[in-house]
Structure 1
Amino acid sequence: MKKIITIAFIALSAATVNAQQTKMAVTGAPADTKPVVDMKPVAAPVETLVLKETEFNFGKIPQGKPVTHVFEIVNTGKDSLKIVNVQASCGCTTPEWERDKPLAPGATAKITVGYNAAAEGPFTKPVTITYNGSEIKQLFIKGEVWKTPASSAPENKSLGDLKN
């Protein structure tokens, strides 16, 4: 009985090895070699428009007081680039930039982003820069708008006593 089990095990092992060799031969690789994986490094795309900062936090700002921040961009490419559009996510955010001037290699430009602090509460607003036709970058402004009092503080009548 042991001989039959041993012979069956050897036959099964031989069939398995033969099946693996046949599969490798069918794919074009020699039966006695392992598949080779090409591990050449893939070059990362060269960034031509670099943002000096991608996010600005205004912190706590009073309601009804618009705020602005200037973002600086740099052309690190070998050719001039053209900012096609700078688009805010809503009407409360307004970007401004030089629209008709291409950015020469190594040159810097500024994008001024304004925020109308009308709505109370925290905010995060994306601004999308489209350049060189269809390439895009995003920057963000964020902060928290606190509600201003409806009326001014009451007059302090004791202040006159301090002056005397």
Structure 2
Amino acid sequence: MRLKRSTWLLYLCIALSATSLGAAVAYRYSIAPEIYQDDWVRLSRAIDASADVHSPEVKQLLGEVGDAKALEDLGLVYALEDSLWVGAQQVTDSGVLHTFDVVNEERRPVRIVNIETSCGCSTAELSTRELRPGERTSLALRISHEKLSDGPHNYWATLATDSDSVWRYGVKVEIMRAVSWDRPDVYFGDVSSASPNEMNCELRLFQPPFLKTLKFDGVSVGSDHVRADVLPQESILRANGVVEHRVPVKLSLAPDGIREGHGFCYLTAAYSTDAGNGQAIARVHWTRISPYHVAPARLVLRDSDAAAPFTIVITHVSGLPFRVLSAEVPDYLLVTSGIGGSAAKEQTLTLWFDQARLPGQHRFDGVVLKTDLKADDVVTIPTVFLRALRTSVSQPGNPSTGEKR
């Protein structure tokens, strides 16, 4: 069967339209594959299903996807206390501003009918909304100063035209603290061994050209168990005239005197600028596993148990014989046996309530024991005292006379 010439022309137009559409989407995909890959798949499936590039499904997808006119990297935005700057450019209170060059690449005049941004932390402004073919205008994308947070971010402005096309302009921004530790959390792990534990961290300071002074003033540690030694620093010239100062710090933790369980302290670096002083804080923490096994591992006591004794059985994980030299207990407990006896692989302590010192409310305490194996070895047993809840219940009576029934 021979097809009419008009039918052939119709098929040819559809094929050419589909080819040009596929090329446009592929070009858009090559600009920003991480954003438009799913849209390209959806659009291809819609064309295959309808065999018509002018179908409502395809037009809807085109309206949702649009063309990415620009995707630019704004770069690093440094933050120092309440001041921000992009490279060497200081950011004002109005926020971070980035300007795009908008060009009407269509063959007909267009009018921008709607402007949307990716989030409430950014605003977009156009110099003009009506563009002739090939005419240019500028799009200002402003990111709020107060809502900038650390890490990488994408910000977008979407322009919808009266020709059902959508243009998107975006920037990739990474917010970085100007003075910060490379490791905000330094974890020593288990420090049960007697040998000192060492960790390295680094303080980084980024100084733009307009900031005359950015000086490291020293470091302090909030624990007697941790020592911080500052090593020689180095300076590196970055882009836009930003100088990066690196201050390596070696942390040493001595396990002597550290009780079992989890402990932490803060590592504070002080710095000064011509605009004022500041601090960068990191958290240093560690865990010490007790070499003793205690049963029960936790004492839960009630005032109703005051007439009964409690026993605590302690053994060393290596099976070594030892003696319990002393015990620190809450004021409502008494140790009646188990202190100062002969060395043994298993020690048993007996505790009683002191009736005269029973607390009037719930208490969270601990029993701390010292042994003769090591001078700094202690055994801590969490203790919880729960007072029984007592309420007086009165019988209902006559509200007028107060007489009970």
Whether TM exceeds 0.5 here: the answer is: yes
The residue that corresponds to 1:136 in the other structure is 166
SS in 1 for 2:272: coil
Structure with the higher strand share, 1 or 2: 2
Flag the 1:153–1:121 CA change in 2: closer, same or farther, 3 A.
same
Percent identity over the alignment?
Answer: 20
Distance in 1 of aligned mates of 2:109 and 2:175: 39
Distance in 2 of aligned mates of 1:152 and 1:134: 54
In the alignment, residue 105 of structure 1 is paired with which amino acid? P
Verify the 8 A CA contact 1:84 1:131 in the aligned structure 2.
Answer: yes
Deviation at 1:98, TM superposition (A): 3.1
The residue that corresponds to 2:16 in the other structure is 42
Distance in 1 of aligned mates of 2:108 and 2:163: 14
Deviation at 1:114, TM superposition (A): 1.3
Q: Which of 1 and 2 has higher RCO (CA within 8 Å, sep 6+)? A: 1
Distance in 2 of aligned mates of 1:107 and 1:50: 17
Q: CA RMSD in A?
A: 3.4
**Normalised by the size of structure 1, how large is the TM-score?**
0.56
Distance in 2 of aligned mates of 1:108 and 1:50: 16
SS in 2 for 1:111: strand
In the alignment, residue 140 of structure 1 is paired with which amino acid? G
**Selected match of 1:107 from 116, 135, 153:** 135
- 2:113 maps to 1:84: yes
Deviation at 1:79, TM superposition (A): 2.3
Where structure 1 has 5 or more consecutive residues not aligned to the other structure, the ranges are 1-27, 30-37, 156-164
Summarize deviations over 1:100-140 as a string: whole Å, max 9, x none.
x4111221111111123521111012221111153212221
The residue that corresponds to 1:93 in the other structure is 122
Deviation at 1:154, TM superposition (A): 6.5
**Normalised by the size of structure 2, how large is the TM-score?**
0.25
Distance in 2 of aligned mates of 1:95 and 1:147: 26
- 2:168 maps to 1:124: no
Summarize deviations over 1:52-102 as a string: whole Å, max 9, x none.
x51111111123443212111212333211011221111221111135x41
Distance in 2 of aligned mates of 1:78 and 1:50: 15
Flag the 1:122–1:80 CA change in 2: closer, same or farther, 3 A.
same
The residue that corresponds to 1:56 in the other structure is 72
Flag the 1:154–1:88 CA change in 2: closer, same or farther, 3 A.
closer
Distance in 2 of aligned mates of 1:122 and 1:98: 28
Flag the 1:154–1:128 CA change in 2: closer, same or farther, 3 A.
closer
Distance in 2 of aligned mates of 1:126 and 1:133: 21
Distance in 2 of aligned mates of 1:120 and 1:95: 22
**How many residues of Structure 1 are paired with residues of Structure 2 in the alignment?**
116
Where structure 2 has 5 or more consecutive residues not aligned to the other structure, the ranges are 3-9, 25-65, 85-90, 181-269, 275-405
